[in-house]
Structure 1
Amino acid sequence: MSFWRKHGDRFLDGLITYIFRLPSWPSRFLRAGAALIVAGLGVGGLAGDLSWIDADRVLRLAVQADGGGLSVYWSQITVFLGILLVAAGLILGIIDHVTDRRQLRKQSVVVLEHRGLHQTVDTPLASAVPKRLKGRIDVLPVDHRQSTSTSQISSPEDALSQIAGLRQQLRQKRDAAGPGNIKLVYGGMAPVPLTFLTGMMVGNEAGLTVMDWDRFAERWREPDGADDGDRFTVSGLEDLEDNTAEVALAVAVSFPSDADGIRTTLGDMPLVRVALPTLSTTAHWSADKQSAMAKDFTDLLGDLMAKGVERIHLFIAAPNSVVFTLGRHFDDRLHPEVVVYQYERSASPPFPWAVKMPTHGQSAAQIVISGAIPIPPATT
């Protein structure tokens, strides 16, 4: 009895939804069969007699329903057809259920969890996978924390090597699951250059769900908030001379760009700034807004290409999911070379290292140490 109190309402709600709301052949058969049974019992004058006798007992069921203009014969046929349709609906429903369960076992939800900067976020991303994503959870961790000293990456080369085979790993999992049977969930807290590179590696993966850590709610969540309409504003592009080979591009979403730090790192290189009108660590919780930022970013890259720019030194102050999204929309065959920098306020210079992304025939990303390993000049 306690089981029925606990689960009875849920069972009835699910049954009603399945029969009357879901468009499927089993539900159609069940509805048609129920209608015929009701019609046969309620409209016709139905009389029936079912007996079963053995040596010990006699079981007899008699049904009598008067009314209507149908004969007892046609009423019985109507009820019999209704029972057949209900039985067919139940059998088809069971077959569909078994097929769905088999298909579900084939589906895989690959959880790409990217860790690198903070030791305090211990909630696994796999525990926050949205319930709409059905299938076996397959965790693909990328954890740079063994290369981390406090909140800084002490060995960026080792961290970079962990991402080198990511694209191949995703391809293998997709091939193993079969076409259409894999969903990808990404989330993390990692250095900007490594997050941007991971976005490039994932690219336009079908069935991708991006999540981020909400530091105030202390949980993983999707960018599911309302779009406030704020969009990037660009400054410095109008002052850029044609055929400028290299520029610094500063993108500000959560915090202002450190212009002094950029000058300390690169000298007097031309600087183009992109920023939201209102900077905030919560300015990114809208999927539509992130899509708009990605479009504005790629449009700006096209404008820089039109100016003759061949290499971009990229500085991003944004939440992890935004950096990842910008990386996903960077075209390694079309856009200029890009070097993405890591910010560490106490370092000298404040952007001590960067990752030169794999573009234009360069198959592997490269670590660039500011002031130690000069970047070859862009070709003209």
Structure 2
Amino acid sequence: MTNYFLRSFIDWIFRRQSAGVTLIRLGVPLFGLVLLSLTFGLTIPTANGPIIFSWDTSSGSSAVLSWGTFIVAASIVLLGILLIIRDILRESREKVIVIEVRGLRDWQGEPLDKAVPTSITGRRDPLMIDIRQGLVDGQIIDPSVAIRRLSGLPDDIARRCNGLNRADVSFVVGGLAPVPFLFLLGVIVDDESHTLIMDWDRERKIWRPLDEVDDGKRFIISGLNAIAAGTTRVALCVSASYDVLDADVRIIEPTAPIIRMDLEDRTTTSNWSEHKQQQLAQQFLNVVMELARQGVTDIALFLAAPASISLRFGTVYDKRNLPSVTVNQYEQANPIKFPWAIRMPVAGLAQPAVEQR
């Protein structure tokens, strides 16, 4: 606790913006004026002769002014220190649970908890889940094993939140893993708490918040109004980075109606805006809700998207009121492009389940 307090105090002084830091930065120069015993003079010429203002901190009557300045400076700095201590004590009650999923075998980058912005207040509590398997980078040989590694996450989160006020707990989430596991992580974390989603910048090789400007591009939705009455299962194809091809989907879903959500002018680097992702997630949620209103009870989701969008879509998916959803995994080298999928723990399903093909 002492080390945390010292580190936090140094962090507040040099990096944080707060009323306490501002007061200290204001008071310290005043201390300098007194301690250095500087003499200041100002002469203003007038028609009746010059008006001279001077201050000598080491002489006579100016000593009163010097002591007054010293007391004011000391009071300002002391108040600043007290405000910082108050903020640190309040922050020490807060906890930031940093959840990182690693699903790429050869990735040894900086841990996510080291990249959390200083604006996110609270003690960092890193929670790393390693689902890497096998010899091929990013390939999951046995999805059921990876699911078991994720299955204990709700209990782990509950244990870390035990005894804390819910308002004092926030989450930072990120990962490099197959889409179904990222979506599942989002479902587990959901959007009921303060959650910051970060993503890995492959070019700069750093974790980044979604801090770019919204370019205004949104999903173009097609097929939603062509669903026949009585349809209970559909294939929802979301292309937010790469293309989801109908031909690949038809191998798995030969008869289900295909609903498409295609992001305008999509690239692998066009999704670094928090506001844009929130709007895309709302579009996704609206489509799923409309499918539910039309009587659809089962959605096969084919999602090509960055990790942060895959996570976000999972967080907004209502566990109780939306249709069951199966998220499919794309494998380019496999003749069956979507060789397995994970049925999400929603719509009454207690635990996620693997579907192998």
Normalization by structure 2: what TM-score? Answer: 0.79
Seen in structure 2, the aligned counterparts of structure 1 residues 20 and 212 have a Cα distance that, compared at 3 Å, is closer
Seen in structure 2, the aligned counterparts of structure 1 residues 287 and 118 have a Cα distance that, compared at 3 Å, is farther
Query: Can you list the C-alpha shifts for 1:281-302, whole angstroms capped at 9, x where unaligned?
Result: 0121111110110000011011
Q: How far 1:324 moved relative to its partner?
A: 0.4
Residue 288 of structure 2 aligns to a residue whose secondary structure is: helix
Residue 211 of structure 1 aligns to a residue whose secondary structure is: strand
Match of 1:247 in 2: 234
User: In the alignment, does 2:295 pair up with 1:298?
Assistant: no
User: In the alignment, does 2:210 pair up with 1:226?
Assistant: no
User: In the alignment, does 2:177 pair up with 1:190?
Assistant: yes
Query: Can you list the C-alpha shifts for 1:101-153, whole angstroms capped at 9, x where unaligned?
Result: 44444443322111113523533222322122344332101111136643310
Match of 2:223 in 1: 236
Seen in structure 2, the aligned counterparts of structure 1 residues 248 and 238 have a Cα distance that, compared at 3 Å, is same
CA RMSD of aligned residues (A): 3.6
Seen in structure 2, the aligned counterparts of structure 1 residues 203 and 314 have a Cα distance that, compared at 3 Å, is same
* Identical amino acids, percent of aligned pairs: 32
C-alpha separation in 2, matches of 1:368 and 1:261: 17
Residue 238 of structure 1 aligns to a residue whose secondary structure is: helix
Match of 2:60 in 1: 63
Q: 1:106–1:135: 8 Å Cα contact kept in structure 2?
A: yes
Is the deviation greater in 124-133 or in 318-327?
124-133
Q: Which letter does structure 2 place at the counterpart of 1:219? A: I
Q: How far 1:279 moved relative to its partner?
A: 2.1
Residue 224 of structure 1 aligns to a residue whose secondary structure is: coil
Q: How far 1:174 moved relative to its partner?
A: 2.3
Seen in structure 2, the aligned counterparts of structure 1 residues 355 and 18 have a Cα distance that, compared at 3 Å, is closer
Structure 1: where are the runs of 5+ without partners?
1-12, 35-41, 43-60, 66-74, 371-380
Match of 2:332 in 1: 345
1:323-334 alignment, distance < 5 Å:
323-334=310-321
C-alpha separation in 1, matches of 2:237 and 2:135: 25
For residue 129 of structure 2, the aligned residue among 121, 142, 150 is: 142
Is the deviation greater in 322-331 or in 172-181?
172-181
Match of 2:53 in 1: none
C-alpha separation in 1, matches of 2:189 and 2:20: 41
Q: 1:109–1:184: 8 Å Cα contact kept in structure 2?
A: yes
Is the deviation greater in 280-289 or in 113-122?
113-122
Residue 63 of structure 1 aligns to a residue whose secondary structure is: coil
C-alpha separation in 1, matches of 2:311 and 2:215: 21
Query: Can you list the C-alpha shifts for 1:292-327, whole angstroms capped at 9, x where unaligned?
Result: 100000110111112110100000000000010011
Seen in structure 2, the aligned counterparts of structure 1 residues 287 and 94 have a Cα distance that, compared at 3 Å, is closer
Q: Which letter does structure 2 place at the counterpart of 1:110? A: I
Seen in structure 2, the aligned counterparts of structure 1 residues 290 and 19 have a Cα distance that, compared at 3 Å, is closer
Q: 2:20–2:79: 8 Å Cα contact kept in structure 1?
A: no
Seen in structure 2, the aligned counterparts of structure 1 residues 20 and 294 have a Cα distance that, compared at 3 Å, is closer
Query: Which has the greater radius of gyration?
Result: 1
Q: How far 1:242 moved relative to its partner?
A: 1.9
Is the deviation greater in 89-98 or in 180-189?
89-98
Q: How far 1:26 moved relative to its partner?
A: 12
Match of 1:321 in 2: 308
Seen in structure 2, the aligned counterparts of structure 1 residues 249 and 177 have a Cα distance that, compared at 3 Å, is same
Match of 2:146 in 1: 159
Aligned length: 327
Q: 1:256–1:279: 8 Å Cα contact kept in structure 2?
A: no
1:1-380 alignment, distance < 5 Å:
22=22, 63-64=60-61, 86-146=73-133, 149-370=136-357
